[in-house]
Structure 1
Amino acid sequence: MYKILVVDDEPRVSIGIRNFLQSSDLNISTVETALNGFEAVDYLRMEHYDLVLTDIQMSRMSGIELMETIYLEQPSLPVIVISAHEKFEFAAKSLRLGARDYLVKPVKREELLRVVRSVLVEKEEAGKLALEKSMRKRSSGGIGPGRRNEILMELVTERGLSKKDHDELIAELGDQVKGPNFGIVSVLLDLSRGGFSNREMMLQDRKLLKYAALNLFEESLSEWDGLTFSGFGNELIGIVQLNDSDATGQRYSLQSQMHFIGQFVFKNFKQYLNIDATIGMSGLRADVSLLVKLMEEANSAAEWKKLHPEQNVFHYEDIAAHESLHMVGWMAKVEQCVQLLKSGGDSETMVLGLVRSLQELGHAADLVHSYFGMLVYRIYGLLLEYGSGNSASLRRFDPDAYFRDLPVTGKTDRLVAYIEEAGRSLSELTREREMTILSRVMGYIRKNYRNPELKIQDIAVEAHFSPAYFGYWFKRETKKNVWDFVTELRIEEAKQLLVATDKKRYEIAYEVGYESPEHFSRMFKRYAGVSPADYRKEGQGGSD
């Protein structure tokens, strides 16, 4: 039986839709109603729903913003938009965010029933396929999209994972990991302008455009079993899994497939969203444990954009084929070293390779000075970036002072010690920085959790993270889901107010961040296990 959520700020409309659907011949068990997007988001976090019907123009959180949140947290949940707006831009935004249909009010009952039936049948068929897949998994539970994105982020960024941890993460993904060959597509979106009006994008438009781009990216890589997710800022990341034949059975070289994928992804972004993107393509490996290495390759490839601004798709294999010690090759090596230092990984092999490369240029002193300077000043700049406010304590890493009066050979000999010391300081600064960010985020949440309009996107902005990465980062740092943390703060304050004051339920609801007393009661019972009235009675030692 299906469970449906109807979201509209006009109770007459939402109740009318609810009554109509419940009296239909569809296999519906429950139709819940929410007065705005914030209530809807709470319901969706508490219980499983099969379909959402939402208005667009609502106070507080609009339908577009609600779909953003749904796409971020439950991208497979179907949404039907029912709106009084006939404007194409609303329909286009809705469909790009994954809406299955866009109906204009007033909606004929027959049309509403047809669309709802179609979406539910489609969902049922997809559920059957998913069930068949799950039967082949070692674990019957599977994972949700949020957990999936956390796992993928760890697999491509966490260099220090033990084999046991790595194997457990791969096992948790189940048959999503097919192989046999793995590559990474790193996409840096240019969201300054876009859409077919090619106008300058405001913040809200950029957010919508990124969600649309992630949706399109997933579709673009589906033929290659792509695992796509949102990276830092305007970055999208995709893991592709290649055979030596395409979907039609024709055989192609793996590298030919990678070249096609890069151009295909870029063309789709341009054709369907009219946005530019820099695309870095890694090499291919038949070992899933090398995803961090592949991520570094894709990022290194994208760095070529600085030297070739007229190009958009860059392949690491092209770099490697020409990587004698010319400028671009050295830049890539420097960037790999920096990424290693950032991740806290073992950089010894990389550093020794850099020293050997410099030593091989021994006769070309000017070239050694140039390449040496690029490396040490990049590392020094990274330390200053992470240690803002502590520049005085970092002056010992100033290359002018650290390598003062040393000949070329002396500088290269001392380079290993410099990078080791810088790496240790960077690890300390990184931890301090993350604790500072966490402290700032916690302060922001504690200051704003009573605001009924608070969204995860708002909190992510405070940390300067994308919403997708922020959710992963917050859980990694606190072992707790960010919205669970917000809700717990609200409920804890409500408990105190119920016991220590005579305020009415609706007053307490408004005070802790809920606009609807009914919605507050439902959330309270979910987290506290009893109703607000029963909690007050027990806390005040009262009786009937």
Structure 2
Amino acid sequence: MFNILVVDDEPLICKGLSSLLAASGLDIDHIYTAGSGYEALDCIRMEEIDLLVTDIQMGAMSGIELMQHAKITRPWMQTIVISAHETFQYAQMAVRLGARDYLIKPLNSEQFLDSVRSVVLKMNRPSPELATYMDGNADRFRLEEPLPEYSELLNSLLTETAAVLGAEEKRRKLDELRLQGPFFAVIKIKLPLPQDRPEQRYTTRDHNLLRYAALNIAKELLDQEWNSTAFYSPDQEITVIIQWDEQSYEEPSTGQLSRLEVLGRSLHYNINRYLQLRAVIGISQILKGLSFMDVLNRQASKAILWNNEHADHYVFYYGDFNWNNYAADPSPEELHTHSNLIVQKAKEYIDGNYAQKGLTIHEVAKKNHVSPNYLSYLFKKNTGYNLWEYVIKLRMEDSREMILNTDLRRYEIAERVGYESPEHFSKIFKKYFGLSPSELKK
């Protein structure tokens, strides 16, 4: 069953779409509604949302901004965008953020439900070839490898860039590989080998089939919104080259590093979901120029090595680890000290800013010069709280004190602890304490 969140600053639209969904016969568990982007973000952080249906123009936070922040929390969540304006720029940004559909108001009921059905039906369905293998029909599974010369060409580009690319050779390879850039990043996907999982008792052929399936999962995710190339690499890895042209890279609304992190988490999530394999993902920085491809390749490989130190974490961004601060790879003691410092600084920032309207995990991570993914992992590991659970804890404890010890009205208290809407504040308060602000006051 699926959970759907409908977001619109017009209550009648939220109510109407919720009623349509409730009567649709779809396998829906809960339908949630929110009247603003900030309210929706709280819902996404606290509930298991599978599908987000959002308006695009909603005051303080647009639907595009909501999608950006929501993807950091739940990269695998699907989105349908609705808008009163048929604006190409909005539609283009929505598609680049992975929106499954872009519908124009006033909505046609059947068109809306057809869009939702299409998204929901695809959520739990792997590719037909993978389904054949998973149903136990491995003998009927036709393994179509990527062309070896194609993978060989790409791998040589990653390991011998400076040596192999003369002026004429560079032009030829660029034409063959369609790598124009000029901005590039590399992602490595490392799958567990048969010897790493003796309890599974699967063969080398099984591993090759699973590797092929993982490559296809990667390609399906990438084809949605990325200009990319995915292929096999040595050491049984899968490599992805991402590229941007000048215009798409400079778009301020996208946040390319955040998008790479979201992609990394989506790759790990979907490979684990469909193949029951805990893939380790290494993400390079973004550099300009094809001549840096070997550098990016080394960065992605080095990022993967941090799984040796963080065995319970699976997505690593090279830029999180301050390599320049160490003459050699840091010792476990140095790593522990550095991790504690990151969490301490994050807590100090949250303690001083939890009442700020629109506070986001991305903002806290930016202050610490690490990715939201890595900060969330360290914060939970060191404190036992999810980062946003800690924000809510501070807000709720503060509001409880004000309810018990002041004559402030509900809307005033909501305002002081960072909530736009008194109703939204009351909803979270009741979920946290089990009774409403007015019930506590009595």
Q: TM-score range by the shorter chain?
A: 0.5 to 0.7
Distance in 2 separating the partners of 1:488 and 1:219? 28
Per-residue deviation, 1:497:
0.8
Report the equivalent of 2:247: 197
Matched, 1:465 2:370: yes
Report the equivalent of 2:114: 114
Per-residue deviation, 1:468:
1.3
Amino acid at match of 1:465: V
Report the equivalent of 2:404: 499
Report the equivalent of 2:421: 516
Per-residue deviation, 1:488:
0.5
Amino acid at match of 2:279: L
Distance in 2 separating the partners of 1:196 and 1:97? 18
Report the equivalent of 1:448: 353
Report the equivalent of 2:441: 536
Amino acid at match of 2:95: L
Residues 1:5 and 1:209: Cα distance change in structure 2 (over 3 Å): closer
Any gaps of 5 or more consecutive residues in structure 2? 136-188, 191-195, 201-205, 213-233, 311-321
Residues 1:234 and 1:532: Cα distance change in structure 2 (over 3 Å): farther
Distance in 2 separating the partners of 1:280 and 1:183? 20
Pairs within 5 Å for 1:242-391? 278=293, 298-299=301-302, 385=325
Report the equivalent of 1:68: 68
Instruction: Check whether the contact 1:96–1:215 (CA below 8 A) recurs between aligned residues.
Output: no
Residues 1:183 and 1:460: Cα distance change in structure 2 (over 3 Å): farther
Report the equivalent of 2:155: none
Distance in 1 separating the partners of 2:134 and 2:417? 43
Percent of residue pairs bearing the same amino acid type: 35
After superposition, the C-alpha distances for 1:363-399 in whole angstroms (9 at most, x for unaligned) are xxxxxxxxxxxxxxxxxxx99936xxxxxxxxxxxxx
Per-residue deviation, 1:31:
2.9
Amino acid at match of 1:114: D
Amino acid at match of 1:385: N
Number of positions where the alignment pairs a residue of Structure 1 with one of Structure 2: 344
Residues 1:12 and 1:457: Cα distance change in structure 2 (over 3 Å): same
Residues 1:221 and 1:124: Cα distance change in structure 2 (over 3 Å): closer
Per-residue deviation, 1:508:
1.2
After superposition, the C-alpha distances for 1:277-297 in whole angstroms (9 at most, x for unaligned) are 736799xxxxxxxxxxxx999
Per-residue deviation, 1:485:
0.7
Matched, 1:437 2:440: no
Per-residue deviation, 1:116:
1.5
Instruction: Check whether the contact 1:188–1:234 (CA below 8 A) recurs between aligned residues.
Output: no
SS in structure 2 opposite 1:81? strand
Instruction: Check whether the contact 1:474–1:482 (CA below 8 A) recurs between aligned residues.
Output: yes
Per-residue deviation, 1:529:
2.3
SS in structure 2 opposite 1:79? strand
Amino acid at match of 1:36: S
Distance in 1 separating the partners of 2:53 and 2:87? 18
Any gaps of 5 or more consecutive residues in structure 1? 135-154, 157-165, 236-269, 283-294, 303-335, 345-381, 387-418, 538-544
Residues 1:517 and 1:280: Cα distance change in structure 2 (over 3 Å): same
Per-residue deviation, 1:474:
1.5
Residues 1:281 and 1:81: Cα distance change in structure 2 (over 3 Å): same
Residues 1:498 and 1:97: Cα distance change in structure 2 (over 3 Å): same
Instruction: Check whether the contact 1:187–1:280 (CA below 8 A) recurs between aligned residues.
Output: no
Normalised by the size of structure 2, how large is the TM-score? 0.62
Per-residue deviation, 1:232:
7.3
Q: Superposition RMSD on alpha carbons, in Å?
A: 5.1
Normalised by the size of structure 1, how large is the TM-score? 0.51
SS in structure 2 opposite 1:41? helix
Amino acid at match of 2:60: R
Pairs within 5 Å for 1:399-410? none
Per-residue deviation, 1:203:
7.6
Report the equivalent of 2:383: 478
Per-residue deviation, 1:196:
6.6
Report the equivalent of 1:54: 54
Report the equivalent of 2:279: 227
Over alpha carbons, which structure has the higher Rg? 1
SS in structure 2 opposite 1:82? strand
